[in-house]
A and B are shown apart, each in its own frame.
Chain A
């Protein structure tokens, strides 16, 4: 956990009081909507179809049990008793009233939570691997770097009115669980020939109307230079990013227009001016932030303890264990994923009661720590393996132990037309229908790892471009239609999906997905060849034929 100190707390208090004044000025008419809109957005407040929506940042996806309970409290007191975890490791409340927002924010600030920079044309919440600090394959905890960057870009006087939003992600493992290459800027920690840790820097990734995979502009950036280098990128973007066309304003367009190499050169030139200035990171500053991340005092435990072996006799437990429990860096411990994708229910939603219970379970079994992953699931990162049977029972009792992690029903879906004012079509009901169609556990299991991502419009909050199966809602003559693409992925070999063919109407989407699943089963070479690998081998054609044969 990152422990907030007096400075962090003072800032949040000052922020809440500023926002209270702004809301009062808006309600009295002193501020116009145009003036107020960016102010509220920079505090995470959107106006959606039916109400205001409040988005709370969960920096690098780490939550304490105390914070989780506070989210439950806000859900109950100011909203309708639930929240929605997003692909940006944030949580959204859908039914907040403007006049009550300052109070809700004050309550959140007490627990170190806020909505600052979760929207607006500024640097957004920094995301990372939801297994940071516990993954067996990581070089070091990427959250230290995410936190250094987070502090540096918080209320940055130069970069709060960029051409468009700016998303940064940090990873430190070989396997990319943070979708690095679809970010405006991403840092991947690795070691150079001399064994020193540094970062590969990638820029210009992003989905939306013009999707791009980020380009590497620096192979190895020493850790001391992280902030100066980001400052140089942001300064170029602030001055030269397009402001005349909202669809061309993201940094990906600037990088694409200049070419990655040229952009890298310009960044380097600017960086030379500031590289050794006051932003260069002192060892002491890094160490100071690192000491504020607390790690549990792990017990000395062995893997596969008798309690776990005994529990494997229970088929339900065994299925869940095989699906939702992952290897921890510490022997005798495990990482547990909580599925927020119960069959037939909205993806990523969590009720206040569930939040409270999850906080209790985290206190008891996971050193009070909870994580949020970009797949819209939660994680208990510090569970002793001997406790797994009890943890399963506790999670199962509140409906967050569906053993479908990474399966076809573990769908990423944005709020879509059920909530979002920008949507063209619904996303949640499509996800619900797909998960029902594939509810039979053996069927789902036989399909192996298969990511279905759904967005309700081209903004791509549901990451449809990088789903193994991607579904995009469009509108045709007032009807909901869906474009389907396949072969996208968001990992270290990130690639954009290939469009299958003409969009299909709402009623046909689930059938089309079933056709794709059947085609895969027929086409795969071995039972363990993944959908994405079959696609790679055979290409889009055989899938396309199958889906459009009868349409």
Chain B
């Protein structure tokens, strides 16, 4: 197996590093100060492979706060960071269907 650190990252456009928080599975994003946040607005946006690797490598090494760390696409609209695909949209906003009970997060 190649170490995840050696994998070549390919990114097509603006991207963020995202993961699930260990304690409750909540979706988190990596900030420019190498911390985790649940608010995508605070995420560090990278747009080339080198910058992505620099953000990703320490994020992956943090095995205690977050798991399943990967690079995800985003869209930038009027300075706002939006999820780049349906999967990321659902991760951020929750299921697209009405939940049987909505207790809120």
Contacts and interface: CB of A to CB of B under 8 A. Distances in A.
Is there a direct interface between A and B, measured as CB atoms under 8 Å apart in the complex? yes
> Which range contains the number of B residues in contact with the other chain?
20 to 34
B26, B95, B96, B102 — most chain A CB neighbours (10 Å): B95
A32 interface: yes
A423 B91 CA distance: 12
A98 B24 contact: yes
A428 interface: yes
B103 A50 contact: no
Contacts of B91: 49-50
Contacts of B100: 81-82, 345-346, 349-351
B39 interface: no
A428 B90 CA distance: 13
Main SS of chain B's interface residues? loop
A202 to B, nearest CB: 35
A80 interface: yes
A326 interface: no
Nearest to B62: A29
Interface in B73-105: 85-87, 90-91, 94-97, 99-103
Given A98-B23, A99-B23, A417-B87, A47 B67 contact: yes
Interface string A97-111: 111000000000000
B20 A33 contact: no
B85 A51 contact: no
A239 B95 CA distance: 41
Contact of A81 (B23, B26, B101): B101
Nearest to A36: B67
Contact of A80 (B26, B87, B101): B101
B98 to A, nearest CB: 8
Contacts of A81: 100-101, 103
Contact of B86 (A29, A33, A417, A419): A417
B22 A98 contact: yes
A203 B24 CA distance: 39
A478 B95 contact: no
Given A33-B63, A478-B85, A478-B86, A50 B26 contact: yes
Nearest to A75: B101
B25 A48 contact: yes
Interface in B5-46: 20, 22-27
A418 B90 contact: yes
A136 interface: no
A27 interface: yes
Contacts of B87: 49, 417, 423
Contact of B24 (A32, A52, A80, A418): A52
Interface of B: 20, 22-27, 63-64, 67-68, 85-87, 90-91, 94-97, 99-103
21 contacts: A29-B64, A47-B25, A48-B25, A50-B26, A50-B27, A52-B24, A80-B101, A80-B102, A81-B100, A82-B101, A97-B24, A98-B22, A99-B23, A346-B97, A346-B100, A350-B100, A418-B95, A423-B87, A428-B95, A429-B96, A478-B86
Given A27-B23, A52-B25, A345-B100, 20 more contacts: A49-B90, A50-B25, A50-B26, A50-B27, A50-B94, A51-B25, A80-B103, A81-B101, A82-B101, A97-B24, A97-B25, A98-B23, A99-B23, A99-B24, A346-B97, A346-B100, A417-B86, A419-B95, A429-B96, A432-B97
